[in-house]
Amino acid sequence: MDSEKISQVSVTPIPTYYRQEIGRNSTRDNIGLSKTEWILRAKTNAGNEGIVNAARFMNQPQNSLEKLSNTLREIFLGFDVKDFFTVDAEGVITCPKKRVEKAFTQPQNGWMSILASDLLGRNKNLPATLLFNQQPKKEVFAYDTTLYFHDQLFPSKGVSKLVEEATSAVKHGYTEMKIKVGRPGKWMLPMDGLERDIGVVSQIREAVGKNIKIMVDANFGYDNRLDLLETFIKETAHCNLYWLEEMVTQNVEDYKKLRSILEKIGSSTMLVCGEVDRQPISPIFEELIKNNLIDGYQPDILGEGFTNWLKIERRLKETKVRSIPHCFGNGNFGTRANIIFGSISKNFISVEDERYLPNIFSNDSFKFENGKHILGEFIGLGLTINEEIFESQYSKNEIIIA
């Protein structure tokens, strides 16, 4: 493997747009039409370029562009692309090297390991998947995660708007979808919110049929209302929900009660949570895992990156808990990173897919068909920048660190 050093890094804020306004969940007001990807481009003296979205860093209140610039100088600029990882006898990445281990494992810094793997893959002229797994999957399932409180965003249509969105997702090839619930928590009166949650889930199930996987996510909207949550679970049992996500804030006692409710009605619905875990696996989630109280775990894919997530999976291997990385807000880059991780992981369930519109990435051979992202022919992560779009629309905001 030839020596190849990182000679320049630049950062550019790039908007990424949803297909339509997202609206509320149980705790946040209207999320709006777009997110910002902080696109970091790391160029090498061999002419290669690694790409990552550093938004997880930039979105932390204590961070700034100056701090990001200093971090990139310290960790990446001037270093050889092979100086980031330790590999085993077969050349498979096992962990970050000591020089970068602390940086890569800091909360919300996992994107660094993704950038490093993109650079190394391009250096070796290999897909990044082969750096971690010699037999990666060629396709991974994905779920539409955009079914927010559209009944409140479009009150004249109400629940029918969500039914319309769900059936549209199926027409566009999705076989899995996640519905936001938790209306009793903030935006509606408790009983009205419960009735609306039940109605949304039931009407969507009726519209999409029995073969579509449906999950629900309450963003803790049933905190302190286990009575209402029990009613919701019983009244939607006929919908055969695949998982219940963050129905209440993580704690052992409530999750024991949730498990008991599901067992009493003979439900195999999974309990999942963990997207809020910024230093996984933190003690409360370790307790939930150890006591068989959750079935899926969800730290963010860009927050943790590939090497941290694979370390998490070594712990999960001792259990029946599945890997379901959170990806909301990570832009088009985040979707690609989650697809790559899904390909190398043996424990992965499905990509959280926000169905963003294209922005600055060039078209490539990756496809979406029949509910799955199908990996094409690629090196590194496979993403390249459409230079014409970048130069004409965004280059004036590019900050170069050389």
What's the average pLDDT block by block, 10 residues per block, for the chain (402 residues)?
Answer: 89 97 96 97 98 97 96 97 94 95 95 98 97 97 98 97 98 98 96 98 98 98 98 98 98 98 98 97 98 98 98 97 98 98 98 97 97 98 98 97 86
Tokens describing residue 231: 């009613």
CATH number at residue 211: 3.20.20.120
Whether residue 277 is found in the same domain as residue 241: yes
Whether residue 84 is found in the same domain as residue 189: no
Q: What is the pLDDT of residues 352-371, one digit of tens each?
A: 999 999 999 999 999 999 99
Per the domain annotation, does 354 fall within a domain? yes
Per the domain annotation, does 75 fall within a domain? yes
Cα 158 from chain centre = 28
CB 24 within 8 A of CB 181: no
| Neighbour-count burial for 97-131, b at 16+ CB within 10 Å, e otherwise | eeebeeebbbebbbbbbbbbbbbbbbbbeebbbbb
d(CA 370, CA 318): 32
- pLDDT of amino acid 175: 98
Length of the chain (residues): 402
Per the domain annotation, does 339 fall within a domain? yes
- pLDDT of amino acid 402: 80
d(CA 221, CA 138): 37
* 356 DSSP 8-state letter: P
Per the domain annotation, does 278 fall within a domain? yes
Whether residue 143 is found in the same domain as residue 170: yes
What's at 385, amino acid-wise?
I
Whether residue 183 is found in the same domain as residue 317: yes
Per the domain annotation, does 1 fall within a domain? no
CB 156 within 8 A of CB 81: no
Q: CB pairs under 8 A, 24+ apart, for 275-282?
A: 275/246, 275/299, 275/300, 275/326, 276/246, 276/250, 278/107, 278/108, 278/303, 279/107, 280/304, 280/308, 280/312, 281/312, 281/315
CATH number at residue 75: 3.30.390.10
Q: Strand 351-353 relative to strand 139-147: parallel, antiparallel, unpaired?
A: parallel
CB 285 within 8 A of CB 249: no
- pLDDT of amino acid 2: 67
d(CA 184, CA 237): 19
Question: How many domains, the chain?
Answer: 2
Whether residue 43 is found in the same domain as residue 192: no
End-to-end Cα distance, the chain: 24
Per the domain annotation, does 190 fall within a domain? yes
Cα 128 from chain centre = 18
Whether residue 191 is found in the same domain as residue 331: yes
Per the domain annotation, does 58 fall within a domain? yes
Whether residue 167 is found in the same domain as residue 278: yes
What's at 3, amino acid-wise?
S
Whether residue 125 is found in the same domain as residue 18: yes
Tokens describing residue 108: 């919300």
Host domain of residue 103 = 6-133+384-401
Beta strands in 18-110 (DSSP E): 34-44, 49-53, 85-87, 93-96
CB 40 within 8 A of CB 10: yes
Q: Half-sphere exposure of 29 toward its Cβ, with a 13 Å CA cutoff?
A: 0
Q: What is the pLDDT of residues 373-397, one digit of tens each?
A: 999 999 999 999 999 999 999 999 9
Whether residue 360 is found in the same domain as residue 397: no
DSSP per-residue string spanning 280-337: SS-HHHHHHHHTT--SEE--BHHHHHHHHHHHHHHHHTTSSPEE--B-TT-HHHHHHH
